[in-house]
Amino acid sequence: MPAIDILIALLTIAFGAFGFVAPRYTASALDLAPTDSTMGLSELRAGSGGLFVALGVWCLLAGAPACFALGIAYFGAGAGRALSILLDRPPLKKALVFLAFEWPPAAYLIWVHWP
């Protein structure tokens, strides 16, 4: 497995670990406000945490097909982020930093692992 694949998988696991074990920190970093329910924390642990940890681990175990799928996932995340930049007007600098962690890995993983 190429070193860059391993690096992207490990970064995916690391970013996912924040959502998985520290959802309150993740919520703060994402400018998400708490409510009376803890359902948001559950969603962060699942969608921003466990999902990305599992995707990264699967890439390390399965190789190219999983890396391609991770590229598609990052492409989708970046597409949502780009649409949000246009429609929601989030803090631009922060949104572009997040986008920089989504589309470049997506482009690489899709290009290199195209079936």
Asked if 59 contacts 13 with a C-beta cutoff of 8 angstroms, the reply is no
Per-residue confidence (pLDDT) for residue 33, from 0 to 100: 84
Rounded-to-integer distance, Cα 115 and Cα 97, Å: 29
Low-confidence ranges of the chain (pLDDT < 70): none
Asked if 14 contacts 49 with a C-beta cutoff of 8 angstroms, the reply is no
Taking the whole predicted model, whether its pTM rises above 0.85 is answered as: yes
Residue type at 7 in one-letter notation: L
Domain borders along the chain are 3-113
